[in-house]
Amino acid sequence: MPSINLIATTTFGLEAVTKRELMDLGYDNFKVENGKVEFEGQIRDIVISNLWLRTAERVLLKMGEFKALSFDELFEKTKALPWEEWIPEDGNFIVEGKSVNSKLYSISDSQRIVEKAIVERLKTKYPVEWFNKSGARYTVEVSLLKDIATLTIDTSGDGLHKRGYRDRAGDAPIKETLAAAMVLLSYWNKDRVLFDPFCGSGTILIEAAMIGKNMAPGIDREFDADKWAKVPKEYWSEEKIKARKAIDHSVKLNLLGCDIDRRSILRARDNAANIGLEEDISFFIKDMRDVDLYDEYGVVITNPPYGERMGEKEEVERLYKDFGQKFKEHDTWSIYAITSNEKFEELYGKKADRKRKLYNGRIKVDFYQYYGPRPDRKEG
């Protein structure tokens, strides 16, 4: 069976994390660029990658890539691609677009040309003059970057961060994909205590629990490609059965989350219950300053308030100082915090061992990493 090219799109800064996930799933031969990781696979890999990738935003099927300096060139090269192999006669195909530093800068014109080219190509396969588009969705994207056009079809549908458990998010939620990346970038493992002192709606701890129990993040949701005729339905049922069998129900996790906001804790408990993890995470209403910590070699992974709203700056700065002071007393702990506040290290009272630039939605943030000592094997 001929291979296909797939693209896992990512938030800027997470490409290496997504590549590592793909390697762990058994893929190789990668092409890594800003915001995406391209890899080879078979049709079944559309299913596997959508079910298992924790840090990718979407999985795209790459149809073709070529230079396009004119609309005629864009039309002819798009028409030459085998759209009929994927889009059926009733396929609901829509075209989206983006253009950066390209001669073809009009996105709407590029979308119109690509749609016209696809229609003309499909007419060579299906003897119709008009397509009713009543079937499954096929979202085509024409991406123009420095005059190179990349044509893809989105296999995911809703973004992969939509796991399905978070029907109640807080006021400043962190994306599930970024929360999972923070856990994967840390030295936490399922045998260590994990504490989120600003847990909000619980996303970081829920993602950690899924990692600790080896739960596929896409196991309880639907994807556009699960309605595609080209992707056999048995692939979805077989891979979901494998994913459910892969869950480690025996693992005992020690995950703790607190927040001063009662509504946030209620949301967090509901979200955990939605995915069956309510017994694995302890959420409680408390100020971080008042939490007693007894475990050595624990890990903190957190998304504290940023203080970007009017009147919050002084309060957040005091909070960061108290946060640093508290964990000065627990120097065997490893601390991981993400924030847009550029004074974090100064307020926390210590320079991070490593700082990584990321994005929380459209907000530019830094991921501060403070490494505690390795756990003693006896303590393990």
Q: What is the pLDDT of residue 129?
A: 87
Mean pLDDT of 71-87: 97
Mean pLDDT over 188-204 rounds to 96
CATH of domain 176-216+236-370: 3.40.50.150
pLDDT mean over 322-331 = 92
2 vs 209, which has greater pLDDT?
209
Q: Report residue 354: phi and psi, to 5°.
A: -155, 145
Amino acid at 375: P
The amino acid present at 134, given as its one-letter code, is: S
Distances (CA, A) of 27 to 10, 76, 202, 226, 234: 17, 33, 31, 21, 22
pLDDT at 313: 84
Exposed/middle/buried for 244, CB within 10 Å: 0-12, 13-18, 19+?
exposed
**pLDDT surpassing 70 at residue 311:** no
Mean pLDDT score, 4-33:
96
Instruction: Classify residue 303 by burial, with Cβ atoms within 10 Å: 0-12, 13-18, 19+.
Output: buried
Extended beta strands in 117-251, E state: 137-145, 148-154, 194-196
Q: Where are the domains of the chain?
A: 4-154, 176-216+236-370
The string of pLDDT tens digits covering residues 98-116 is 999 999 999 999 999 999 9
pLDDT range class, residue 308, cuts 50, 70, 90: low
Amino acid 245: pLDDT: 98
Cβ neighbours, 10 Å, residue 328: 11
State mean pLDDT over 157-181.
86
Tell me how far apart the alpha carbons of residues 284 and 263 are, in angstroms, rounded to a whole number: 11
Residues whose CB falls within 8 Å of the CB of residue 212, separated by 6 or more in sequence, listed in order? 189, 190, 248, 251, 253, 255, 280
Band of pLDDT at residue 347, cut at 50, 70 and 90: very high
Q: Provide the CA 212 distance to its chain's centre, in angstroms.
A: 17
**176-216+236-370: same fold as 4-154?**
no
Give the residue, 170 or 224, on which the prediction is more confident: 224
Nearest Cα to Cα of residue 161 among 24, 23, 360? 360
CATH for the stretch 4-154? 3.30.2130.30
Nearest to 14 by CA among 149, 196, 160: 160
pLDDT > 80? residue 380: no
Quick one: angle between helices 176-184 and 15-24, nearest 10? 70
Other C-beta atoms closer than 10 Å to the C-beta of 74 total 23
Q: Which residues pair with 8 in a beta bridge?
A: 37, 59
- How many angstroms separate the CA atoms of 39 and 29, rounded? 6
Give the pLDDT band of residue 307 (cuts 50, 70, 90).
confident
Q: How many separate helices (H) and strands (E) can be counted in the chain? A: 10, 14
From residue 153, how far is each of 7, 193, 219 by CA, in Å?
Answer: 10, 41, 22
